[in-house]
Amino acid sequence: MSLSPDPVGSTLHPTVATHVKFRLARSLAIVSLCSIASGAAGYLYGVRSTEPHLTVVTTTACGVPASTSSFAIPMQLLTATIPARPVTIGPVEVPGVVNSVSLRFDPTIDGRSTEVRQVENTIHLPLIFGRAAAHPNRIRLICRDGRVATVRYRLDVREQTTFRVIDSAPESGRRVR
């Protein structure tokens, strides 16, 4: 690479030319690194923004030493694909409960209620809840006396709701317990 002469007609001193080349190379390296970093950040943001939000479902053991188990479901993805239809997940085994239960998320159930129904081994739950009418970040199935007695939805520290599980007869919808 040759440097063009300055306006007076003399050439640059070799030390100055080396210094200019070094600064030019350093500037190009910084620009390249910045463009790579911004491209990587854009890629990671795109991947994270299209990733479905997962709702973690945990179970609390009943009558056995304290333990919890959990799994995650993509609530928003399920409701986006079938918005007006109930979605059933399960069976879910809750430690200490005789029969496993299925969770049926139904868009017609009011999430501001304090009770949910259990028909046979299926607990009917709302898709959204609370003042924000949002999907929960965490659902906890709480066991008592050998059955799922309550279900707690949690969005964040301020927004959570506990639903009491009411057993219903499958034919009439009446309370059994």
Give the pLDDT confidence of 62-93 residue by residue, as tens digits: 665 555 667 888 877 766 766 678 888 888 88
Of the spans 33-42, 119-128, 163-172, which averages the highest pLDDT?
119-128
Report d(CA 111, CA 153) in Å as an integer. 10
Strand partners, 167: 118
- Are 74 and 52 in contact by the 8 Å Cβ rule? The answer is yes
User: What global pTM score does this model have?
Assistant: 0.63
Check pLDDT > 50 for residue 176.
no
- Are 58 and 139 in contact by the 8 Å Cβ rule? The answer is yes
More confident residue, 14 or 55: 55
| In the chain, where the domains are located | 1-51, 55-168
Tokens standing for residue 72: 């995650």
Check pLDDT > 50 for residue 51.
yes
Exposure class string for 15-51: b at 16+ Cβ within 10 A, else e: eeeeeeeeeeeeeeeeeeeeeeeeeeeeeeeeeeeee
Q: What is the mean pLDDT of residues 145-165?
A: 88
